[in-house]
Chains A and B, each alone.
Chain A
C-alpha cells in the first residue's frame, strides 16, 4: 500500500507541472488575445510560400 504514497506524490507533481505551465502561459500573455491567433492561422500557408519566394530572390 505504501507505494501509493510515492504514486500520489508523483501525481501531485505531474499536476503541478500543468499548473506551472498554465501560470506561465498567463504570464507570457497567451491568454491576452483569444481571437486573433485563430484568424492568423488561416493565412499561414500563403505567408510561408511568400517567404520562400523572397528567399529565392
Chain B
C-alpha cells in the first residue's frame, strides 16, 4: 500500500516502519528517532510532514574543511573561550516546525547555547560552546536534521550586504514625529479668526514649529539634497533637484515670515511632504529578504576543499589553493578549479555550467573545468588555474560586462525636467506681472509658485506605483531586483531563452524505453542490477522501474567498467548495460544509433533507454502569445542539437536557434543583438547564462527552488510560472500607464495650487489642505489601479 513518509511526506512503501509510522528512507527514520529520543515530537504536531527528505546519511568527510582554523575564522563572527556566534543561511526553512526545531537545537546537543531564526531571511544565528561542540559537528547536526547550511567561497560576505537600512527608518520616524507636531501646533493659526486672540502664544507656537522643522530639513530631507547635488555636479537635473529646491524655498520663506512676524510659514506642508516622500521611497525599496540578486561565482563554489599533501588529506580554504596542488573530490562535490584529472572514474555533471543535460565521462589526463559536479566516485585532480582565473570565473571579469546596466535615465526624469522648466517659466511670468502691477507682491508670488507646485507628487506617484507593482509581481513569483527593472522591461523587444533548466525542467528527466518489449523477468533482472550501481544513469533506470513494483532478484556477479557500463549476472541471465560501444565490444549487434543507455540480455540486444527532456507546461502557448505581442524570440542552448525537432514544434519555425553555445558565445550573441538596436531580455538559469544575463537589458533567472544558486540577474522567476511570462510582462508594463494617469491628476492639483500662488494669495492653510489631499489621493489611487490590473492577471492565469 502507498504511504506517506511521516517525516518528509514523500510517497513510499511500508518497508521502513517505526510503531505506526512509515518512512521513505533510513535518513528520515533516523531524524525521527533523534527527535523522539529528545522529546521533540512537537516538530510533527506544528505542521504535517514538515521534514526535509534526508536521502541517505551525509558523508562524514564532507565537512572536514570546517576543522581548518582559517576557514572557521571566516565563518565565526564572534568568539570567546566558551562562546562562539555563527550565522548560517538555511534555504530549507519553510514552516513553523522548522523554526521550532531550529530554535530547540539545544535540546539535542547541550553544546548549543542558543539559536534564533529569521524566517524571511532564512537565517539562523547560533551561539554555541566551542569546547563542547565543534563547528564541524554543529554543521553536521544541522545537515542531519535536514537543514544543510549553504557555505560558500564568499564566506559571510553576503551578511554585510543584507543589513537593513535602519537610517531610512530613523528618518521616517523623525519626519513623522515633527510633521504631526507641527500640524497640531499650526491648528490655532488656521482656526483663529483674528490674530489678537492668541497674543504671545502665537509666537510661541510658530517658534516651536521652526524648532521642530529643523530636524526634518537637516536630517530627514538630507537624502534629497545629496542626490540633487550629485545630479547637478554631473550636469543632470534629476527628480530630486526640483524637490530639494521646493524644500529650500518653502523653508526659506517660512523663516522669513516667522522672523518678520508676517505669517506662520508653510512648515507643516514642508515636513509633511518630506514624510510622505520618505515613506514612498521606503515602500518602493522594500526588497525580498531571502533573495540575492547579486550572486557571483563566490556564492557558487565551496568555501573549503580537501588537498592531498604527502598522501595526507588537509583542509584548506579554496581561495588559498594554488597551481599544482592536488585536490580530492568526493562524490557529489564540486570541481573547484580548472584542473587535470589524475585518476579514473570521473563523471562530471556540467549541466549548470554549460547546459548539457547528461554527465560527461572524463578520462585520466584530461582537463576538468571548475563548476562541474563529480557524480561518480572520489577522484583526484591537479589544479591548473586557481579559482579566480578559471574558465567560468573569467566571465565575470570580462570587459564586456563592466558597463553599468540600465544607465538610461528613467522616463520620470525628463518629465521632472519639463516640470521644472515650466515651473520656472510660471514663476518668472508671475514675477513679471507683479513687477508691473505691485512690486511688493513679487516675492510672495514667486515663492508661492515654487512652494505649491511641488514635484513631490510626481515622485510619490512613481515610488508608490512601482512599489505596488513589484509586490504584485512577487505574488506571482516574479521577483524583481528594483523598480528600474520595470522600466527596462518596458523597452524590451527581443527575448532570448536558454533551454536546459529554463524551458526544460531541471528536476525531471523522462526515460523512454525503445526496443523489444521486456518480459517481467527481464525487467526484474535489470532493475536488480541497476539498484546495485551508483552511476546516475543507472539510478535513472532504477527510478523508472521503481514505480512498477518489481521483485528484487539476487545479483550473482556484477562488474562495473568505468566509463563503459555494467556487466552482471542475475537470476541466470547475463545482463549488459552501457554505451553502444560497450555492447558492440562484447559482440552484440546494436541496431540503433541514438544517444542513451543500451541494454542486452543474454547476448541479445533488447533496446535503449532514451533520456528525454521534460519541457515545462504551457511553454508553447506562452511563446505564441509573446510573438503576438510583438516580441522576437531567440533560443541559445549549450546542449547538442538533438532536441531541435521538439524545439521547432515548441517555438515555431521562425525562431532562430543556436546550439552548443558556450558562455562567451551567449554573451557575444546578446551583444550582437544589442548593437543592432534591440533591447534584449535573457531568460536563463545556469552559470553558462551568467554572462548573458548580466549583459542583456533585463536578465531573468529561472529557478525551481528560489534558494538555490541563481546567477546575478535583474529578476528571479519561479520555474512553474514561466508559462505566464507574457502576462507578467504585460502587467509590468502597466506601471507606466498608471504613472501617466496619476501624473495628469497631480498636474490638476498643481493647477489649483497655481491659481492661488500666481495671485499671491497662497495662504499656509490652502497649502496645508492641498498637500495631504493630493498625496493621499495619489497614494490610494496608485494602490487601487495596481490592484485592479493585477486582478486581471490572476483571472487569466
**A46 close to B208 (CB less than 8 A):** no
- When the two chains form the complex, which single residue of A12, A15, A18, A35 contacts B119, counting CB atoms closer than 8 Å? A35
**B119 close to A33 (CB less than 8 A):** yes
Q: Quick check: is A55 within 8 A (CB to CB) of the other chain?
A: no
Q: Quick check: is B99 within 8 A (CB to CB) of the other chain?
A: yes
- When the two chains form the complex, which single residue of B39, B164, B169, B201 contacts A1, counting CB atoms closer than 8 Å? B201
Q: Chain A: which residue is nearest B98 at the CB level?
A: A39
- Residues in A with CB closer than 8 Å to B294 are none
**With A5-B204, A19-B174, A26-B173 as contacts: A12 and B181 at CB distance below 8 Å:** yes
* CB interface residues, A 1-26, toward B, < 8 Å: 1-2, 4-5, 8, 12, 15-16, 18-19, 22-23, 26
**With A26-B169, A43-B100 as contacts: A35 and B120 at CB distance below 8 Å:** yes
Chain A interface mostly helix, strand, loop or mixed? helix
**A8 close to B208 (CB less than 8 A):** yes
Q: Quick check: is B564 within 8 A (CB to CB) of the other chain?
A: no
Q: B223-256, CB under 8 A of A: which get 1 and which 0?
A: 0000000000000000000000000000000000
Q: B135-170, CB under 8 A of A: which get 1 and which 0?
A: 000000000000000000000000000001010011
**With A12-B208, A31-B169 as contacts: A36 and B117 at CB distance below 8 Å:** yes
- Residues in A with CB closer than 8 Å to B164 are 31-32
CA distance A39 to B99 in the complex (A): 8
* CB interface residues, B 42-66, toward A, < 8 Å: 42, 46
- Residues in B with CB closer than 8 Å to A50 are 39, 107
* Nearest CB of chain B from residue A44's CB, rounded to whole Å: 11
- Residues in A with CB closer than 8 Å to B107 are 50
**B177 close to A42 (CB less than 8 A):** no
* Nearest CB of chain A from residue B608's CB, rounded to whole Å: 51
**With A32-B164, A33-B118 as contacts: A40 and B103 at CB distance below 8 Å:** yes
Chain A to chain B: the 8 pairs with minimum beta-carbon distance, closest first: A36-B119, A19-B177, A26-B169, A22-B173, A35-B119, A33-B118, A39-B99, A35-B120
**B99 close to A40 (CB less than 8 A):** yes
- Residues in B with CB closer than 8 Å to A43 are 42, 46, 96, 100
Most chain A Cβ neighbours within 10 Å, of B104, B121, B173, B185: B173
CA distance A17 to B596 in the complex (A): 73
CA distance A57 to B753 in the complex (A): 75
Q: Quick check: is B630 within 8 A (CB to CB) of the other chain?
A: no
Chain B interface mostly helix, strand, loop or mixed? helix
CA distance A36 to B212 in the complex (A): 36
**A16 close to B177 (CB less than 8 A):** yes
CA distance A43 to B200 in the complex (A): 58
- Residues in B with CB closer than 8 Å to A56 are none
> Which residues of A are at the interface with B, using a C-beta cutoff of 8 A?
1-2, 4-5, 8, 12, 15-16, 18-19, 22-23, 26-27, 31-36, 39-40, 42-43, 46-47, 50
Q: List 14 A-B contacts (CB under 8 A).
A: A5-B201, A8-B185, A8-B205, A12-B181, A15-B181, A19-B177, A23-B170, A26-B170, A31-B164, A33-B118, A33-B119, A33-B120, A42-B96, A47-B104
Q: Quick check: is B199 within 8 A (CB to CB) of the other chain?
A: yes
CA distance A19 to B199 in the complex (A): 30
CA distance A15 to B170 in the complex (A): 15
CA distance A50 to B41 in the complex (A): 12
CA distance A40 to B42 in the complex (A): 13
- When the two chains form the complex, which single residue of B99, B121, B166, B177 contacts A15, counting CB atoms closer than 8 Å? B177
* Nearest CB of chain B from residue A34's CB, rounded to whole Å: 8
* CB interface residues, B 171-198, toward A, < 8 Å: 173-174, 177, 180-181, 185
Q: B14-49, CB under 8 A of A: which get 1 and which 0?
A: 000000000000000000000000010010001000
Query: Can you add 7 more A-B contacts, CB < 8 Å, to A8-B205, A31-B166, A32-B118?
Result: A1-B199, A12-B181, A15-B177, A26-B169, A26-B173, A35-B120, A39-B96
- Residues in B with CB closer than 8 Å to A46 are 42
**B99 close to A36 (CB less than 8 A):** yes
